[in-house]
Amino acid sequence: AKMENHTRISEFILVGFKSHPGSQVLLSVLFSTMYIVTVVGNICMILIIRTDPKLHTPMYFFLENLSTLDICYSSVITPRAALAFLLGRRSISYAGCASQMFFFSLFGTTEAFFLAVMAYDRFTAICKPLLYQVIMSRRLCVLMVVGSYLSGCINCTIQTGFTFSLSFCGHREINHFFCEVAAVIHTSCSNTLVNELVMLAVCGPIIVGTALVVFVSYGYIIITIIQMPSAESRHKAFSTCSSHMVTICLFFGTVFVMYAQPGAASSPSKSNIISIFYTVVIPMLNPFIYTLRNRQVKGALKKQLKRKGFFK
C-alpha cells in the first residue's frame, strides 16, 4: 500500500550550512580548494606508484586503489556542495539525490573494507614476513579489491533501495549538504523504523567487522614490533604502519562518532561538521599522510622530479 500513495516529489533541497549566509563564499572556496588538493594529491600518488617499479608491491597496489577510490568518493559530494554554496542553488533532483546516496554509500563502504584489507596486508608483512610473498599473491590482492567493491555494492543497493521506497510528501528539506542516508530518512513522512533498523543491521556489522579486522591486525603488529630485537628493525616496521594507523584512526573515529552512537542523526549541525571530515578532509589528507611518512614514496617522488629536471 505504501508504494501506491507514494507522492512523488521531484526534488529535494539541501539546507546544510544554510544558517551562515555570510560564510557561503568562504565555504565554497574551502570546499573547492580541498577538492583540487584531493584530486591532484591522489593523482600524483597513483602516478608515483605506477612509474616506480620498486613500488609494485601489494601494499602500494592497495594504496593506488585507495587513491582512486578517494578521488571518486570526494567527486560524488564536494564539487556539487561547493557550487551550491557559491550559487545558492541547493535543490537536487529526486534521481540525483538517489544516485548521490548510492555512490557515496558505495565508495564509503568500500573505503572501510580497503582499510581492513590494508591492515591485513601489514599484519602479514610484519607478523609473517617469510610467507608474505606466498600469502599476498597478485590474485589474492585483486580478489580483495574486487571483494571490497562488491561489499560496497551490496550495502549501497540495500541502503538506497530501502531509503527511496519511503514516501516523501511535500517536506523536501534535507538538513545536510549532501544526500546522506540518515538525513534523507528524516525527511520522509512514512514510518521509518524499519529503515533505521536496516541501516543499523547493515552498517553496524560492516563498521564493527572492518574495525575489528583492523584492530586485531594492529594488536598483533604492535606485539610483534615490541618483541623485535633491534631498535632499527622496530623503527623500520613501525614506519611502514604509522601512516596507515593515522588514516584508520581518522576514518573509523569519525564513522563511529557519526553512525555508531544512539541519536547520532538527531544533531544535524554536528553531523554536518563530522561528515565534512570523512567526505572531504580524509580523502585530501590520505596522499599527504602516506607520502610524508613513507621513505619509499618520498624517494620515488624525488627520482621523478630529478628526471623532469626539478632537482639537480
* pLDDT-above-70 percentage for the chain: 91
With cut-offs at 50, 70 and 90, classify the pLDDT of residue 86: confident
Contacts of 310 (CB under 8 A, 6+ apart): none
How confident is the model at residue 293, as a pLDDT? Answer: 63
- Given the DSSP bridges, would you call strands 173-174 and 11-14 parallel, antiparallel or unpaired? parallel
- Given the DSSP bridges, would you call strands 91-93 and 11-14 parallel, antiparallel or unpaired? antiparallel
Residue 156's alpha-carbon distances to 75, 121, 211, in angstroms, are 17, 26, 19
Which of 1.10.760.10, 1.10.1040.10, 3.40.1180.10, 1.20.1070.10 is the CATH number of 11-294?
1.20.1070.10
Helical segments of the chain, H only: 24-51, 58-87, 94-127, 132-135, 138-163, 181-187, 193-226, 231-259, 268-276, 282-292, 295-307
Q: Mean pLDDT, the chain, as a whole number?
A: 85
Task: For the chain, give every domain's residue range.
Answer: 11-294
With cut-offs at 50, 70 and 90, classify the pLDDT of residue 1: very low
User: Is the pLDDT confidence value at 189 over 50?
Assistant: yes
pLDDT, tens only, 97-142: 999 999 999 999 999 999 999 999 999 999 999 999 999 999 999 9
How confident is the model at residue 16, as a pLDDT? Answer: 80
Q: The cell 552498517 sits on which residue? A: 203
Partners of 174 in the beta sheet?
14
pLDDT, tens only, 240-299: 788 788 888 888 888 777 766 555 445 666 778 888 887 888 899 888 887 766 677 777
CB-count exposure of residue 94 (10 Å: 0-12, 13-18, 19+): middle
How confident is the model at residue 20, as a pLDDT? Answer: 67
User: Is the pLDDT confidence value at 39 over 50?
Assistant: yes
User: Is the pLDDT confidence value at 42 over 90?
Assistant: yes
User: Is the pLDDT confidence value at 3 over 50?
Assistant: no
**Is 211 in contact with 252 (CB distance < 8 Å)?**
yes
What average pLDDT score do residues 3-13 get? 65
Joined grid coordinates for residue 297: 614514496
